[in-house]
Chains A and B, each alone.
Chain A
């Protein structure tokens, strides 16, 4: 299908595709993390705007197990 001298271009194309795929994955991750950060900020603002009982989440309702 390819001449010996042309195979290197196939290798360049394949590795470039892998790098573009990696970049797309990193941008996707960034987008997801950004969305979660926004949601968390909104939740924190809601919680700060009123006492815990009035914010819709009861104190201690979500447990106290910490995972760092």
Chain B
């Protein structure tokens, strides 16, 4: 029991931080800005989910590069688990963003380069899953997916970070500098919740990733056993 707790302390910490983010995010004082008003509190959730998506897709890129270098099946399994986790957090980020857009811009979706780029980025990662499903041979699938994943991350980054900055008219905040981190983007009074929120969402993303990975590894091991016996 104690051993289990020792191994899982960071998960408990993540949950405690998330509870703090919910309480602090909804109860602490926030700046009263026109249009956005109280909905600014969504920054602790929406931005956290998107940053987690970027963090975990970056991890997927690292695992794919490691697979291409060392050809270890574990790295391929880690990469696909990270992409699956990224898709979960990306979907949550899109949904929280849509609700926020409805309350500030009046519509669930507006024709904005940042929003469209986010969807294209998600579709790129969905295509990664389709690509994996279309190749039966394990090694070929892993190699193809790893190469595709390198391009997927670069394209994803271009669509959500570079193209929106080049576009002249984007109403999405954070198209200059680092979104939500620049001094003009985030009020100092929000930092005591924002930074723990980022850490909490990252921990949750890593936890979900580790579960996906262990599940995929189990399937892989069972498949190997089934083939041998």
| Residue-wise interface mask of A (28-68) relative to B, using a CB-CB cutoff of 8 A (1 in contact, 0 not) | 01100100110010011001000010000111111111111
CB pair B227 A66 closer than 8 Å: yes
Chain A residues positioned under 8 Å from B207 (CB to CB):
26
In the assembled complex, the Cα of A23 lies from the Cα of B26 at a distance in Å of 20
CB pair B208 A59 closer than 8 Å: no
Is B218 an interface residue when CB atoms closer than 8 A count as contact? yes
CB pair B229 A52 closer than 8 Å: yes
Is B214 an interface residue when CB atoms closer than 8 A count as contact? yes
Is B225 an interface residue when CB atoms closer than 8 A count as contact? yes
In the assembled complex, the Cα of A68 lies from the Cα of B215 at a distance in Å of 11
Chain B residues positioned under 8 Å from A64 (CB to CB):
226-227
In the assembled complex, the Cα of A29 lies from the Cα of B209 at a distance in Å of 12
Chain B residues positioned under 8 Å from A19 (CB to CB):
15, 18-19, 22
Is B35 an interface residue when CB atoms closer than 8 A count as contact? no
Number of interface residues of B (CB under 8 A): 28
Q: Report which of B8, B23, B229 forms a contact with A47, defined as CB distance below 8 A.
A: B229
Query: Which B184-229 residues have C-beta < 8 A from chain A?
Result: 207-208, 211, 214-215, 218-229
Is A1 an interface residue when CB atoms closer than 8 A count as contact? no
With contacts A37-B218, A60-B229 taken as known, whether A66 is within 8 angstroms of B26 at the C-beta atoms is: no
Is B27 an interface residue when CB atoms closer than 8 A count as contact? yes
Is A12 an interface residue when CB atoms closer than 8 A count as contact? yes
Is B138 an interface residue when CB atoms closer than 8 A count as contact? yes
| Residue-wise interface mask of A (1-20) relative to B, using a CB-CB cutoff of 8 A (1 in contact, 0 not) | 00000001001100110011
| Residue-wise interface mask of B (77-114) relative to A, using a CB-CB cutoff of 8 A (1 in contact, 0 not) | 00000000000000000000000000000000000000
Number of interface residues of A (CB under 8 A): 32
In the assembled complex, the Cα of A56 lies from the Cα of B197 at a distance in Å of 52
Chain A residues positioned under 8 Å from B224 (CB to CB):
66
CB pair A44 B141 closer than 8 Å: no
CB pair B15 A12 closer than 8 Å: no
Query: Which B37-89 residues have C-beta < 8 A from chain A?
Result: none
CB distance from B45 to the nearest CB of A (A): 10
CB pair A68 B220 closer than 8 Å: yes
CB distance from B3 to the nearest CB of A (A): 12
CB distance from A31 to the nearest CB of B (A): 9
In the assembled complex, the Cα of A61 lies from the Cα of B116 at a distance in Å of 51
CB pair A61 B223 closer than 8 Å: no
CB distance from B112 to the nearest CB of A (A): 28
CB pair B19 A16 closer than 8 Å: yes
With contacts A19-B18, A26-B208, A29-B211 taken as known, whether A36 is within 8 angstroms of B26 at the C-beta atoms is: no
CB pair A66 B229 closer than 8 Å: no
7 closest cross-chain pairs (CB), A and B? A66-B223, A23-B15, A15-B22, A33-B214, A57-B229, A12-B26, A62-B226
